[in-house]
Structure 1
């Protein structure tokens, strides 16, 4: 908090030193969902399971995490209270329940459900209830995430023949394709200030972190690695955390939005995946 205070005094922007990250590890047959400080230190296991845990997503305010667990031998979405460790079922509908993401006001969650047979984007009340279908395609629509103002949803669809990032209104409706460079673009992550969209693009067989300036559509590659995944912005929009493979080992990295300064985070060993940078704490 002292570092945040100094940072804000110098730059005029909020610091992220006291924020938290979540990520998933697999060691042997044990899967862990971790919550750690923003630099990777002081990691605490929020959940341990013999079955896979994927897609952690912070609720606004940082009190809850949604995630997907395979304990029921199929993907099911839970909401987890970080302080108490208590959890509740969010989505266990027919078929697959995956890729949860909270609305900016915390009142609803979007997710990918296969209720209709194919994977489509649905919205549901954060306290439970019937899901409402938002995307309407015969293709696979997945990885939905709200824009910071809550007015639109970014998601991935292969409706054009290959996975690309699209944007539609928060109530559904016509979707607009955003990514055109390359034939494989996934994992959209908008910056909290609404200026940038981070995503993973396959370039000559290598999966690399890219960022798009939304106003201009300009796309910039931020890395030269080959196995990047799961980008997530810091709440002040200045840095991006992502998982990658470095020197044969999986690691969590942060990069500035211009790609100039990269840092490897301390912490967990083993198969490290799916980092998600938490919000400013309320």
Structure 2
């Protein structure tokens, strides 16, 4: 894994079609207990064993990973047509109950139905029927999890969103797009050369990333559906660290075309290049604020790498940037939550750990991981979770965490090193 320190030093040195996934399937390990969790009972869906997908298991993992729910153990045969025995479920400590069924239709599709009950009020709360192809059964479970979460908390779930990440096996690099739990999806690109820094467009239709297929770093943009890709930044020197503007019309990139690595803004045709920073330091790893008015980025202008903020239309001297991180002497890889409330970054202490701090200054930066080789934090679109890469038991792995660090999920792949995660937006 190219750890954060090596990646920043690589930047310093630089300044002198969609096919089905056959492997890289994940299993999920969830650790920790949330501060406040809603007790929810979940039964096996009737006839789910005939569908080939354990929908209730997918649903359970989704809800547990959110950190919002405590699953109450349950037994017995229930489906969406049942009338629950309220006193029984109350005695088990459940506030809510989910049950459903899976029925194969004559055309080969499946009718997935569920119902959510409020056990305390003894009434139905939500329900739906989803008719899907066999290949979309897991997606149906993710969508049910999101509906349950939104109904019970008022907050939109992210289980039906997608992530992008890079795997490495035998010096072969593969950019993959999967469901938020790492399952299913497609191969976007396979290459004998490294692929780094994938970034989703705001509409989820395109990915920007850095490819070394020409022998040097080049920024590419690829259409997720068609697999078509093209270079948008292949200037002299290094081209790296793409970040989408919130309107999806421009990219902030790091270029060394004019000397030390600096931030530039360009359109998707690779034209209208505008230099954003004018320092003698290394400026890199830009990310936009949700309102599009400012950029957060990493610079060593103060002697060591720290996160700074500057107005997008600044493009002026180094004094136009405001330092944001002060926790230690080495802070890199900034990510801003979609709601604009939190900054995540990687700090070097005894190791490299993901930190989270409120942007309004209402609290200190806190470590949300217990590993030592963390990199590439990326927020879920509802701003409640982070995905990041780290090392565990000698492998490069992906993990998610709640913003308080209480619930962590490890996505374990099958013999592959996994890195460079990026969480996609709502919609697919």
**What range is the shorter-chain TM-score in?**
over 0.9
Cα distance in structure 2, aligned partners of 1:97 and 1:281: 29
Q: 1:268 to 1:170 in 2, by over 3 A?
A: farther
Higher deviation after alignment, 63-72 or 264-273: 264-273
Q: Deviations over 1:28-70 (max 9, x none)?
A: 1211101010001014210000111110000011110000000
The answer to whether 1:251 aligns with 2:397 is yes
Runs of 4+ in 1 over 4 A off after TM superposition: none
Secondary structure in 2 aligned to 1:62? coil
- Give the match for residue 215 of structure 1: 360
Unaligned runs of at least 5 residues, structure 2: 1-142
Which one of 244, 252, 258 corresponds to residue 116 of structure 1? 258
Which one of 158, 164, 168 corresponds to residue 26 of structure 1? 168
- Give the match for residue 202 of structure 2: 60
Contact 1:238 1:257 in 2 (8 A): yes
Cα distance in structure 2, aligned partners of 1:9 and 1:127: 42
Unaligned runs of at least 5 residues, structure 1: none
Deviation at 1:253, TM superposition (A): 0.2
**TM norm structure 2:** 0.64
The answer to whether 1:180 aligns with 2:180 is no
Contact 1:41 1:267 in 2 (8 A): no
The answer to whether 1:152 aligns with 2:298 is no
Cα distance in structure 2, aligned partners of 1:165 and 1:256: 22
Higher deviation after alignment, 272-281 or 2-11: 2-11
- Give the match for residue 7 of structure 1: 149
Cα distance in structure 2, aligned partners of 1:267 and 1:104: 32
- Give the match for residue 348 of structure 2: 202
- Give the match for residue 47 of structure 1: 189
Cα distance in structure 1, aligned partners of 2:326 and 2:412: 35
Deviation at 1:255, TM superposition (A): 0.1
Deviation at 1:271, TM superposition (A): 2.2
The correspondence of residues 160-175 of structure 1 with structure 2, limited to 5 A, is 160-172=302-314, 173=316, 174-175=320-321
Q: Deviations over 1:177-204 (max 9, x none)?
A: 0111111100000000000000000012
**TM norm structure 1:** 0.97
Cα distance in structure 2, aligned partners of 1:241 and 1:186: 16
Secondary structure in 1 aligned to 2:321? strand
Cα distance in structure 1, aligned partners of 2:393 and 2:411: 14
Q: 1:268 to 1:48 in 2, by over 3 A?
A: farther
Cα distance in structure 1, aligned partners of 2:405 and 2:364: 15
Cα distance in structure 2, aligned partners of 1:36 and 1:43: 4
- Give the match for residue 74 of structure 1: 216
Q: Deviations over 1:136-186 (max 9, x none)?
A: 110110000101111110000000000000000012340000111111100
Secondary structure in 2 aligned to 1:5? helix
Secondary structure in 1 aligned to 2:150? helix
Deviation at 1:3, TM superposition (A): 1.7
Q: Number of residues paired by the alignment?
A: 281
Structure having the higher strand fraction is 1
Contact 1:145 1:155 in 2 (8 A): yes
Structure number with larger C-alpha Rg? 2
- Give the match for residue 228 of structure 1: 374
The answer to whether 1:91 aligns with 2:236 is no
- Give the match for residue 128 of structure 1: 270
